Amino acid sequence: MLTTEEIQRRVKEADADRGAKRSATAARVGDLAKRRAAVAEQLADIDRELGDVIAESSDVIEIDELARFTDVPAADLNQWLNSRKATRPRRKRATAGTSTAKSDAPHDVATTETPSTGRLPTSTAHASSAADALQASARVPAEVA
């Protein structure tokens, strides 16, 4: 039968092997994650640049034509263009003490809501004009009796 000391030695030996494997695994995953983050950042930069180039050249070449010339799917070109628009920095809101046209408007203006049909617009142009109309209707003061 094994002595207590021999059992403890075997457990320590097994734990040491396991600990070394765990340490190596953690180090490898950390390194790979750093590499992945760097490559993802580079890819995001390239995507933004692609979107910028497509947007800047939209007056001389359309997406479909660009897709034909480059064999890059129009869906990919549109995605780069649209993601560029979505990642633009937003304007900062006016801070307290800063006067804007909206903050000078009376606060007791009644607004009406446009009923929803439950359907989404079929095109971005329609969605944009519908949103603009909704915003415009919200700005029109309603008469209160």
- Taking the CA atoms of 62, 68, 71 and 75 in sequence, report the sign of the dihedral they define: positive
Mean pLDDT check: name the lowest of 68-72, 84-88, 101-105: 101-105
Q: Average pLDDT of the chain?
A: 75
In this model, does residue 103 exceed pLDDT 80? no
The pLDDT value recorded for residue 78 is 95
Q: Is the pLDDT of residue 106 over 70?
A: no
Burial 40-64 (b: 16+ CB within 10 A, else e): eeeeeeebeebbeebeeeeeeeebe
Mean pLDDT of 48-72: 96
Q: Decide if 84 contacts 48 (C-beta within 8 A).
A: yes
Check: CB of residue 121 under 8 Å from CB of residue 127: yes
The one-letter code for the residue type at 67 is A
Distance between CA atoms of residues 36 and 42, nearest Å: 10
Q: Which contacts (CB < 8 Å, 24+ apart) does range 9-17 have?
A: none
pLDDT tens digits, one per residue of 5-35: 999 999 999 899 899 999 999 999 999 999 9
